[in-house]
Structure 1
Amino acid sequence: MPDRRSRRATVLFHEVAERQLAEMDDADLARLDPHLDTIALDPKNAGVQTRPDSPVRDYAKDGVRIAFVPTVLGTIVLVAYVEVR
């Protein structure tokens, strides 16, 4: 049987999140990166849905918070907000 690797979602950043990333130092970006990887691997199950009628999911772990919207097929993730404390 062929070795099937999990497909990762493409992560795109809203302009607000891009501005937040631009203000982060290298240490904060290094802390953020593994969490973005987690979301990209399983966007439909990462984090919690903010409201039952909203597609926005909120991921918070180890001082990192990411608000994002996965596409229906889970192939693209739009990151709307990032925070590293």
Structure 2
Amino acid sequence: MPDRLPRRAVITFHEVAERQIAGMDDAALARLDPHLDTIALSPRTTGVQMRPDSPVREYAKDGVRIAYVSTVLGTVVLVAYVELD
């Protein structure tokens, strides 16, 4: 059996994140994409839980901050907030 690529979650965006992304130029989008890929590959372990009683996770690296929620099976990720410095 051939090696399979890791399963990736489907990334969706809350309307707030959509507005933030719509205002980004191509360079900012290019910076953001690899971080979204990282989250899609392992959404339940990549970020840190913001509070013990909250499903919201925060991923922060290289000046990129993303707040997101993953489904229980990790197949869908809802990105709620995106910030680039």
Deviations for 1:7-33, whole angstroms, at most 9, x for unmatched residues?
A: 000000000000000001110000000
* Amino acid in structure 1 at the alignment position of 2:26: D
Which 4+ stretches in 1 moved above 4 angstroms? none
Report the alpha carbon displacement of residue 4 of structure 1 after superposing the two structures with TM: 1.7
Give TM-score scaled by structure 2 length.
0.97
CA distance in 2, matches of 1:22, 1:47: 23
For structure 2, the residue ranges without an aligned partner over 5 or more in a row are none
Query: Which residue of 2 is the match for residue 28 of structure 1?
Result: 28
Aligned residues: percent identity?
78
The 5 Å alignment of 1:5-84 reads 5-84=5-84
Give TM-score scaled by structure 1 length.
0.97
CA distance in 1, matches of 2:2, 2:29: 35
Aligned residues: 85
